[in-house]
A = this chain, B = another copy of it.
Amino acid sequence: MRLTLPSSGLAAQPLNPCFRSLHVCGRTTGYDGGMRNHELVLSWIEAELAAGRLAVGQRLPGERAVAEQLNVSRASAREGIRVLEAMGVVRAGVGSGPGAGTVITANPAVALGSALRFHVASSHLPVEDIVQTRLLLETWAAGHASATAPSMETAAALLDDMDAPGLATAEFLRLDALFHVALAEAAGNVLIGAMMSSLRGSIETYTQQLTSRLPDWNTTAERLRAEHRAIHRAIGGDGGDPAVLIAAHIEGFYREAGL
């Protein structure tokens, strides 16, 4: 239960490694607190990020440079960077010039999304829990959405797109998901927007399966369109409680699909 090194708590287990053995595994300086080498990379980058020496949009030093700087092998540096990529903190690109190399990004949604998918796959995260959470987040977001938020225009455009005749079901659902995410973003909370985005992604296939259980898709789609318009109007201040409307909207869909 080591609470040392508070600024970077990735190392949960001691896992006392091999590097303090005289000179073999490199880094004779020691004092890594039992951290594996790739975690060393993680905590270093976290510190650089927190100190402002690295910022979104900048490029990370090359893998070889990172490895040399931290006295680890390139493989260890790569492992750390790989984790960062999975967390949506960086984006790797080959070649040279702008856009190449490892660039710092800020995409919390990918981190949550992929992790959620895995835990759903391992049957330790019931889909009902995700749906329930989604309902909670969206209801809150609708209640706090600002009519003047830029994403509200995006939402309006998506509504028009969804009116296109002969739209395939999958395409409709995709636009639907984007619409809901746009609403969540209109509340101005980055975290909740990211969570909504991840949640929708992790239950996307599930939602598609649900549509096949509907009695008549066209009728449902028409109703969804109308409800979307009503929610959008309500956020604009045109009568009605957005939170109530969106809660009914979501619950109605799952109920009709036979939840």
Give the residue of B15, B79, B190 whose beta carbon is less than 8 angstroms from that of A78: B79
This protein's copies in its complex = 2
Min Cβ gap A206→B in Å is 11
The B-contacting residues of A in range 105-156, CB under 8 angstroms, are: 106, 108, 110-112, 114-119, 121-126, 129-130, 132-133, 136-137, 140
- Please report A residues at the B interface, Cβ cutoff 8 Å: 3, 6-10, 12, 15, 38, 46, 49-50, 52, 54-56, 75, 78-79, 82-84, 86-89, 93-94, 104, 106, 108, 110-112, 114-119, 121-126, 129-130, 132-133, 136-137, 140, 170, 189-192, 195, 201, 205
A-B contact pairs, 16 of them (CB 8 A): A3-B170, A12-B110, A15-B93, A49-B122, A75-B75, A84-B118, A87-B114, A88-B119, A89-B119, A104-B122, A108-B115, A108-B116, A111-B112, A112-B112, A115-B115, A116-B191
